Amino acid sequence: MENIRNKLGFICDMDGVIYHGNKILDGVTEFITWMQDNDKKFVFLTNSSERTPQELSMKLERMGLHITADHFYTSAMATAEFLHSQKPDSTAYVIGEAALIKALYDKGIYMNDVNPDYVVVGETSTYSFEKVTKAINLVLKGAKLIGTNPDITGPVENGICPATGALIAPIEIATGKKAYFVGKPNPLMLRHGLRKLNCHSQDIAFIGDRMDTDIIAGIESNVDTVLVLSGVTSMEEISNFPYRPRYILNNVGEIVAN
């Protein structure tokens, strides 16, 4: 573990690494305390676009972890950065929650349901036939289709729920247009994280629990990858993939355990 402990910083996934539902996972408190005590740079990345950094900070506070909002980076923020870099002062029709709309506003991207430059889809609990129909017709008129992340499902207390990849699929099928997804495994997310930490790729490690999004994003960003088995991936499943993480741990606490 010495090589990992010597890193200047860490980029961490959240669900399955830090918590599951409303439960902090084993070893997390010790790992975060160690990072704070040793002046490590760290940022938490999440493919979810439903919460702002302030809301994520409050969620962890309720679970007993004090982490300020500047330590979080979401797919909503990455999507807003991407659209701003592609076309500053653009407009969008959004199917998503308030956090996604706020991230877009913060980058000068405003709402437009008549002739937007983009149709942007993120996780939402207010999905409707009317919104999908509107999105389909705007894409057919020339709006570019963007997804905050390609995840098909997400975890909820009683099982799973459809995530962005599933919600955007009807629009793709009806229009014949493929969406561009900004979140992991797109390495854009990790590159934003590196910029936020102001670190070089060899100076950080990326910690995740999914081979198909986290680990491949780390490999494609040329950073050391740490797979933790506290989330969705078991040791047996690793051999199903044609690539491997640099390190495999039961949980993040093993990074600082003697």
Catalytic center residues: 13, 15
Q: CA-CA distance, 100 to 48, in Å (whole number)?
A: 10
| DSSP character string of 117-180 | SEEEE---S---HHHHHHHHHHHHTTPEEEES---SEEEETTEEEE-HHHHHHHHHHHH--PPE
Q: Residue 52 in 3-state DSSP?
A: coil
Q: CA-CA distance, 154 to 117, in Å (whole number)?
A: 28
Q: CA-CA distance, 171 to 167, in Å (whole number)?
A: 8
> Which runs of E-coded beta strand occur in the chain?
9-12, 19-20, 23-24, 41-46, 72-74, 91-95, 110-111, 118-121, 144-147, 153-156, 159-162, 180-181, 204-208, 224-228, 247-249
How many CB atoms neighbour CB 165 within 10 A?
20
Q: CA-CA distance, 135 to 93, in Å (whole number)?
A: 7
Any bridge partners for residue 156, and if so which?
159
User: What angle, 0 to 180 degrees and rounded to 10, lies between the N-to-C axes of helices 75-86 and 188-197?
Assistant: 100
- 247 exposed, middle or buried (CB, 10 Å; 0-12, 13-18, 19+)? middle
